[in-house]
Amino acid sequence: TMSSTLVLTIYILTFAVGFPANIFTLVVLVAKSRRRPADPDLLPTNLTSADLLLLNLTAADLLLLVILP
């Protein structure tokens, strides 16, 4: 039916756009967290509180995208 085709199309578009974007964001944040700090006396992480919130949101989005279908 038309309704199920529309829902399937929306799911496919959501997955096709959301999954690569969230994987890219996750890779960038993990790479940022592994960089060494410029000052050795600083804490070993370079993530700000905003980065941690974005990491949490990215993980939640990826879980939703995997469970969505």
pLDDT tens profile 4-57? 899 999 999 999 999 999 999 999 999 888 876 666 666 656 788 899 999 999
Q: What is the dihedral angle through the alpha carbons of 41, 45, 46, 51, rounded to the nearest 10 degrees?
A: -150
Look at the chain and report how many structural domains it folds into. Answer: 1
pTM of the full structure: 0.77
DSSP state of 47: -
Q: Is 21 helix (H, G, I), strand (E, B) or coil?
A: helix
For position 47, what pLDDT does the model report? 80
Q: What is the mean pLDDT of residues 47-68?
A: 91
For position 24, what pLDDT does the model report? 97
Where in the sequence is the domain holding 53, given as residue range(s)? 4-67
pLDDT-derived band of residue 2, with 50, 70 and 90 as boundaries?
Answer: confident
